[in-house]
């Protein structure tokens, strides 16, 4: 896999692939009878697994980012008032 980022359309399509797979599997489960429902089960399990792992990965990344932000040293200079180099028009 290359280091390039996917296009906007492709990224949106990838983001919707798991929910669409689950939706398709549920549609097949509701419309078919008896043993014909069986092929939809793997799609439902895979779609649910992909959605769950994506959720867990996002949650871990956010927690790691928050932890890094809390541990980062705060620069003291940014809190100090900086004098504007332009002349004051009131003077």
- DSSP string for 11-33: HHHHHHHHHHHHHHHHHHHHH--
pLDDT in tens, 37-89: 999 999 999 999 999 998 999 999 999 999 999 998 876 655 556 666 777 67
In this structure, are residues 25 and 44 in contact, taking their beta carbons and an 8 Å threshold? yes
pLDDT at 14: 81
pTM of the predicted protein model: 0.62
pLDDT at 75: 67
In this structure, are residues 37 and 29 in contact, taking their beta carbons and an 8 Å threshold? yes
pLDDT at 90: 72
């Amino acid at each position: 896999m290359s280091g390039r980022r996917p296009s906007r359309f492709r990224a949106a399509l990838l983001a919707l692939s798991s929910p669409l797979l689950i939706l398709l599997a549920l549609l097949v489960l509701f419309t078919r009878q008896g043993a014909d429902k069986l092929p939809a089960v793997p799609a439902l399990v895979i779609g649910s697994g992909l959605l769950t792992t994506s959720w867990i990965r996002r949650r871990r990344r956010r927690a790691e980012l928050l932890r890094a932000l809390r541990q980062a040293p705060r620069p003291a200079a940014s809190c100090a008032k900086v004098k504007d180099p332009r002349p004051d028009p009131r003077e």
